[in-house]
Chain A
């Protein structure tokens, strides 16, 4: 059975999983203690746990971004939305709201509102996704600063800080949140027909229109989900440092999130998506960072390696590149034969 006979799902999954496996293996070879996990006070510690914990915000963003990209869109505003949600929650706490449900609910509401604006502009206004979400990318940080009155707002609220630093069944809570978000989105997408409609709108908007799928509403929905995920990630970031920093919260994370989805094998043109593989993508980005540190390469090479990774993945996905490789093989083929 050759590679071509494998089911598309398996074929798509192989590369990201293989990539992660290779990176993990490299880490173990460099630092044998990489896989070791200790239990202290009923909590798990170790490099692996650390990788997952640090990857959590990007993984959350990637969950929402996956759906957006599946419809053929993009959401550049998620980093700014993180800042807004963090600022809203911090603002609520500082103004004396103690009820954790209200604090978290406020942050999530801000995320949905942002997603609604994006989705409305894309779906109902017909504005290009890059353009539509650029508005909030620029203005979002200003709004967050407005909420914070330009300060870094620090707070103490044990229940809220639990989001960032708490442990649940021995696992850091951000990891648990990623798992919860993943399961919820997976249920919503794969136990209802939504996932299929999302893929349909991305694969062929005209065909969707022809059978009466409400593509506008679907688009609105995915941007709202993306806003929700970003809000959750923003609250984790705020809870982690016990404060809301509108300037730096989620800065450039939209790019990491897009990268995670692309590494997960999704096409930027829309269509097939896998939330699971996007999370693997987020893990790969974080593991790569660790690998760089462990292997003694100075962390300043981080961005360069990331850039190389993007280019390689893009080329691997480009049909033209495949044609060139095929032509090269053809040219070489006869030479070997003769």
Chain B
């Protein structure tokens, strides 16, 4: 089956986690001397696939063939020895060791049983010269920028006789020049015959450097395409699983913006990670935030909520300029934020549902005015019922609930604090279908009650369903705004794709 230039082939690979089938019979073929983009939205299975290739996970089915031999790497070290090296976005090198040590850790040149430092440093300099890097290799890695660290990681991977080089979102924290020089090096490596798997969220970059594209969605293979023949629109529609040509929903005009009270106004505000942009939310309005992962949706929420500092421009709440120095001020001003990473930033795992629900309200009131236990129970019982949270007991630790119910608890936490403006970052991520519909209903209802909502989501369908206005983000800037009857999956998708 293998043609001459097939380097790595995955056939029908399965990976099952308790309750989820993360990969379902996925095929993937990497040729010698190509740059192959691996694309898909969050939860599509990209990172699982990479981890199966690199031995972090063991596959539950299918086969992996590297240059005609079936392989089953048990750990990353083994994969590395086989010739599969990976470079991650958060550079997985050792910050405290010198550049040379990082390049040669585990295979240091030895002399008389001791490390031959001079040779190691000399070799390191020579190696990096091949990447146009002329730096002090004896300095600790942390002294260099992420871009240089990434190149060092690539150099290490290639030097360990890599045949396959996997780059997992290497450009996420690089500026334009750094990206350009990274691409040059990728092309050089390709020309030397190395197969490169390139994972990225930046579609322009896919077209700038890739030869072929494989797209995953929901753990299954969508298809494998030539970059030259696949349009950006087709690409986006494959990733999101929607046909662009699909009939446009008729959108009910919910809010005539001019007449409404402006709740939130972002005036050409920027942060360290966000280009200046304008956004406004009215009372009784749901503003959707569309864009692929890493496009700046989360960053905008953080900016408004005071988690990131406003660098330029200003943010106004109900007409008053706000400059929060901590998030309690945002909470006191009547805001709430459901964070994207529920487990990391949202839930208090070992604490009860009741406590998780009243925490924000309590913090708003201050520590001294403790909400009486009876009131706490009433509140908790009320929201358990109102949001239909599936639990027998409000005293259960929240980490025993399913993801959807946890999300509802966090929503309840903010509803209990009686906010004017809610920021929801991916409120339906990792939630089963039933709970999904309920949360969307809830968003509509809150809007009718007069709340302003800013909802970031990667699911176009739901944005079309509930948003009165959609702000489209790409590459950390706002690229479009569609409102009223213009809101359709097609329009949003075109804006995301940049057309």
Contact = CB atoms under 8 A, between A and B. Distances in A.
B328 A213 contact: yes
B368 interface: yes
Contacts of A303: none
B363 A213 contact: yes
Nearest to B417: A211
A209 B350 CA distance: 17
Nearest to B395: A7
B119 to A, nearest CB: 38
B372 to A, nearest CB: 10
Interface in A171-201: 191-194, 196-197, 199-200
B445 to A, nearest CB: 23
A213 B332 CA distance: 12
A8 B397 contact: yes
B351 A203 contact: yes
Interface size classification for chain A: 20 to 34
Interface core residue of A194, A203, A206 (most chain B CB under 10 Å): A203
A212 interface: yes
Given A207-B348, A212-B328, 20 more contacts: A8-B395, A8-B396, A192-B370, A193-B365, A193-B367, A193-B370, A196-B351, A196-B355, A197-B362, A203-B348, A203-B349, A203-B351, A206-B344, A208-B348, A210-B327, A210-B346, A211-B327, A212-B326, A213-B359, A272-B351
Interface string A127-157: 0000000000000000000000000000000
B348 A200 contact: yes
A191 B346 CA distance: 25
A214 interface: yes
A212 B307 CA distance: 9
A211 B367 contact: no
B404 interface: no
A104 B352 CA distance: 40
27 contacts: A8-B350, A8-B352, A192-B367, A192-B368, A192-B370, A193-B362, A193-B365, A193-B369, A194-B367, A196-B359, A203-B349, A203-B350, A204-B347, A207-B347, A210-B327, A210-B345, A211-B328, A211-B331, A211-B360, A211-B363, A212-B326, A212-B331, A212-B360, A214-B326, A214-B328, A271-B350, A271-B351
B402 to A, nearest CB: 17
Interface in A209-226: 209-214
B345 A200 contact: no
A8 to B, nearest CB: 6
B221 interface: no
Contacts of B395: 7-8
Nearest to A216: B326
B396 to A, nearest CB: 8
B478 to A, nearest CB: 24
Interface string A214-243: 100000000000000000000000000000
Contact of B362 (A196, A203, A207): A196
Interface string A263-281: 0000000011000000000
Contacts of B328: 211-214
A271 B348 CA distance: 9
Contacts of A271: 348-351
Nearest to A210: B345
Contacts, number: 87
B326 A210 contact: no
Contacts of B339: 210
Interface core residue of B331, B351, B362, B396 (most chain A CB under 10 Å): B351
Nearest to B352: A8
Given A193-B367, A196-B359, A271-B350, A212 B329 contact: yes
A3 B330 CA distance: 42
B363 A206 contact: no
B159 interface: no
Interface core residue of A192, A193, A209, A272 (most chain B CB under 10 Å): A193
Nearest to B307: A210
B345 A206 contact: yes
Given A7-B395, A197-B367, A210 B337 contact: yes
Nearest to B346: A207
B371 interface: yes
Contacts of B396: 8
B318 to A, nearest CB: 19
A272 B348 CA distance: 10
B338 to A, nearest CB: 9
Interface string B199-219: 000000000000000000000
Contacts of A194: 367
B382 to A, nearest CB: 19
Contacts of A200: 348, 351, 355, 359
A212 B330 contact: yes
A303 B451 CA distance: 62
A195 to B, nearest CB: 9
Contacts of B307: 210
A209 B337 CA distance: 12
A272 B397 CA distance: 11
Contacts of A210: 307, 327, 337, 339, 345-346
Nearest to B332: A212
Contacts of A193: 362-363, 365-371
Interface string A255-297: 0000000000000000110000000000000000000000000
Given A193-B370, A213-B328, A214-B328, A204 B363 contact: no
- Closest A-B pairs by Cβ, 8 of them: A212-B328, A212-B327, A203-B348, A193-B367, A271-B350, A193-B362, A212-B331, A193-B370
A263 B352 CA distance: 23
B121 to A, nearest CB: 33
Interface string B294-336: 0000000000000100000000000000000011111110000
A3 to B, nearest CB: 15
B307 to A, nearest CB: 7
Contacts of B366: 193
A208 B327 CA distance: 10
A209 to B, nearest CB: 7
Nearest to B350: A271
Contacts of B355: 196, 199-200
A196 B365 CA distance: 13
A7 B393 CA distance: 9
Nearest to A8: B397
